[in-house]
Structure formats: structure tokens, C-alpha cells
Amino acid sequence: NTIDPTKPLLALTFDDGPGPYTMRLLETLEKYNARATFFLIGKKVLERRDVVKKIDKIGCEVGNHTTNHLQLTKCTEEQIAYEIDTTNVYIESIINKKVDLVRAPYGSANPLVRRTVHTPLIHWSVDTRDWEVLNAEVVKHHVLEHAKDGEIILMHDVHETTVEAAIELIPILIEEGYQLVTVSEMAQVKGYTLQDGDVYHRYK
């Protein structure tokens, strides 16, 4: 899919899946030829292999959100390595691709975490707090209000209300002229070379 660098880009990102509603979201992304980045939990990956395959198949990006969603800043080096490496192995066994991105749970990353993950850390610039509000309309308006070129939007596809919001948002954002791309695509177009251990919130 070609990206027009003169048009605004937006990266929708979804954490904590794959969940029971993720497939519906993927069908909408596919329908509108849009892409997103999914930061997956290792222990859920094996339960929903078909969803992981579909994410990859439609050109969306698969990222690592640890195996057990622990706060990595409270973990030892061995625990951090286990949380990241195990999930990488699970995902790679399903899509036969190396996982290039990590999102630390709660956005918690200290020098030890940054040293141990061996990938760039992708955080966010717009937090919908969708897990707290659990209201599709509120989430939708929050995204529309804060959407700007280069922003990384944080959502959680384990909530049905979030998926409902995203399904409505995707065509609206496209109508408003945004290209919905993966985190890596956006970095590339914006001229960023992502460095292992660095934390990224947005691309300006």
C-alpha cells in the first residue's frame, strides 16, 4: 500500500489483545484498506492464533506487550527478558516474522527495561482512557478531538466499546484525510530510524 507523505498520518494502536472483538475490528480495517498496530499479550496469543494471523495478513503490525502484562520497572532483568522473549517466540511461531516493537505495560520503562528489550519501545501521544470510560461515543470524540498528523493513539481492543468506537472512527478519519498506518510505516515516512531501547511517543 502506497502512503502519500504529503497527507497526514495517524497510528491507531491497540493493546492487551488479541481479544474476543479483535476480529470485528480487523474486518473493518480490511474493508477500508486501513492499518493499525496491535501490541499483543503472550498468553493470549496462543488462544487466538487465527486473529494473530489475520492481523499480519491484512498488513497490520504485530507488537509485543509482554507475556503477563507486568510492570517491567518492578521486574528483574531475567523477568523482563522472559516477558519479552516468550511473547516474541509465540508470535513468531504463528506469523513467521520477527517482532520489531515492544510497548511496555503502563508505559513503564526505566534504563534496565530499555537495555533489556532489544527493540524500540513505542508508547503513545493520545491516551483515550477507553478502559476507564467504557463508552464508545466518549472514546470516539476523544480521538476525533486529538487526532493530528504524527500522533500515536492508545486504545484496547479487549473492550467491546472500544472496538465499536474504532469501527465508527476508521471511515470518519479517512474521510477527514488521514492515512491510517502502522507505527513502523509512520516512522519510515516521517524519517525516523527507530533505535533499540529508545522510547517513542509520536512522530513530528
44, containing H or E segment? helix 42-45
| Residue range 84-140, pLDDT digits in tens | 999 999 999 999 999 999 999 999 999 999 999 999 999 999 999 999 999 999 999
* Sign of the four-CA dihedral 171, 156, 3, 202: positive
Output the pTM of the full model: 0.97
Segment 133-162 mean pLDDT:
98
Can you tell me which residue has the cell 491497540? 14
Residue 139 in grid coordinates = 472514546
Give pLDDT tens digits for 12-59. 999 999 999 999 999 999 999 999 999 999 999 999 999 999 999 999
Catalytic residue annotation:
15, 156
